[in-house]
Amino acid sequence: MISPVMPTYARAPLSFERGEGCWLIDDKGDRYLDFGAGIAVNALGHAHPALVEALSDQARRLWHTSNLYRVPGQEKLAELLIEHTFADTVFFTNSGAEAMEGCLKAARKFHSHNGSPERTRFVTFEGSFHGRTMFTIAAAGQDKLVNGFGPMPECFDRVPFGDHEALKAAIGPETAAVVIEPVQGEGGIVPVPAQCLKGLRELCDDHGVLLIFDEIQCGMGRTGKLFAHEWSGIEPDLMAVAKGIGGGFPVGAFLATETAAAGMTAGTHGTTYGGNPLAMAVASKVMEIMIAPGFLEHVSRVSGALRQGLEGLVAAHPDVFEHVRGEGLMLGLKCKTANMDVVNSARERGLLLVPAGDNVVRILPPLIIEQAEIDEALRRLEAAATSLESGEKAA
């Protein structure tokens, strides 16, 4: 008999009752060090007092009004985002996939608005992930995402990751935009070199094509900058944001330059919940904390220590791990043993990690971690690696 909750997830046999900072406590009272952060969502850890206060305060006053009216929280958060990014305007969504859909729609609208309605195609990359709506699974195109859900929209030209010639060849007179994650997340923590992002920006400019960044996973402080593309010095025309921006409250956004958003006039796009006062109260608080002096410096400092520790583990356990990659607190351990064995073995030792493509284990702790928690996580991961070496597989 089918389970009451539709069985689309392969869930670990754990259920949590509460969280405190970087820790999760399950229904048996066991404590887990959370180095997955709900897949890069709980950027400020669990039950951050300032977020609890922002949410409770808003909950007592007003939950929802719809976008038929002005929502002051949207205006406040949009201004904060604009002040700290390339963007001139922001549309709020409930999720990452919707933010990506918004970017794709806005890119087509831009071209039709500017007299090039034939520009409807998108160049995307192998190994990418942009969400689970019909349009976003078609964008990524991986078999495991699209199998059985076809026919897919036939407007995506996928090129191998890092193949500049294939990329050039894929851009044509019908291309609306190039879509890329500055650091691939689900694909296995694969950063795009700054030089490549610069080259991509030039290529797009030369061909009158928009550049869309998916910073849903790598944005919001994860790499030690507010957004990962800042390391490259170039800017997109459109960008999707979600995950960390709500710190655990479901919210996303897509950001645009004034030029790129030219066609997005009243009535062209909408959502009932997007930019709801509860979401705005929490996300504004997340932004305020991240832009405060010292926050991103903290991310860079602790990520250096974590990375060094992981390099040490790789050197000590060459039969389990191959190398460390990533940026800031978006790190990946490329494994020699099956990545799920590492994830399961770490979980049995009270350390939560997240698997990714290319046999990688993702390490995505809350951005507020301190040295003591890094040391503890490294001890637990060391124990997991040692047990895998001795051939004892996790359940």
The binding site for ligand PLP (CB under 6 A) comprises: 95-97, 100, 129-131, 181, 185-186, 214, 216-217, 242-243
CA atoms within 13 A on the CB side of 255: 25
Return phi, psi of residue 12, to 5°: -70, 150
CA distance 168 to 352: 40
Write down the catalytic residue from 34, 157, 214, 341: 214
- Rounded Cα distance, 226 and 211, in Å: 19
- Smallest gap from Cβ 254 to ligand PLP, in A, equals 11
∠ CA 29-34-38, nearest 5°, is 110
Exposure letters 214-247 (e unless 16+ CB within 10 A, then b): bbbbbbbbbbbbbbbbbbbebbbbbbbbbbbbbb
Are the C-beta atoms of residues 222 and 241 closer than 8 Å to each other? Answer: no
Q: Which of 109, 225, 243, 285 is catalytic?
A: 243
Instruction: State the Rg of the chain over Cα.
Output: 21
Task: Give least dist CB 368 to ligand PLP, A.
Answer: 20
> In the bound complex, what is the minimum distance in angstroms from residue 126's beta carbon to ligand PLP?
14
The active-site residue, picked from 122, 129, 213, 254, is: 129
Known catalytic residue at 243: yes
Closer by beta carbon to ligand PLP, 140 or else 290: 140
The Cα 248–Cα 80 span in angstroms is 19
What minimum distance in Å lies between the beta carbon of 385 and ligand PLP? 26
Nearer to ligand PLP by C-beta: 216 or 388? Answer: 216
CB-nearer residue toward ligand PLP: 214 or 341: 214
Is residue 214 annotated as a catalytic residue, yes or no? yes
- The residue among 130 and 380 lying less far from ligand PLP, judged by its C-beta, is 130
Contact of 242 with 267, CB cutoff 8 Å: no
To the nearest 10°, the Cα dihedral for 311, 317, 318, 320?
A: -110
Minimum gap (Å) between residue 389 Cβ and ligand PLP: 31
Six token digits for residue 356: 């990714």
Closer Cβ to ligand PLP, 96 or 350, answer by number:
96
CB of 8 to ligand PLP, least distance (A): 13
| Spatial CA neighbour of 190 closest among 103, 131, 126 | 126
Return the closest-CA partner of residue 43 out of 263, 270, 287, 274: 287
* Exposed / middle / buried, residue 293 (Cβ in 10 Å: 0-12, 13-18, 19+): exposed
Q: Has 30 been annotated as catalytic?
A: no
Q: Least distance from C-beta 214 to ligand PLP, angstroms?
A: 5
Q: Encoding tokens for residue 23?
A: 């820790």
In Å, how far are 78, 218, 230 from 84, measured between CA atoms? 10, 16, 11
The residue at minimum Cβ distance from ligand PLP is 96
Of the pair 190, 234, the CB lying nearest ligand PLP is at 190
Q: Which is nearer to ligand PLP, 100 or 306 (CB)?
A: 100
- Positions marked active-site: 129, 214, 243
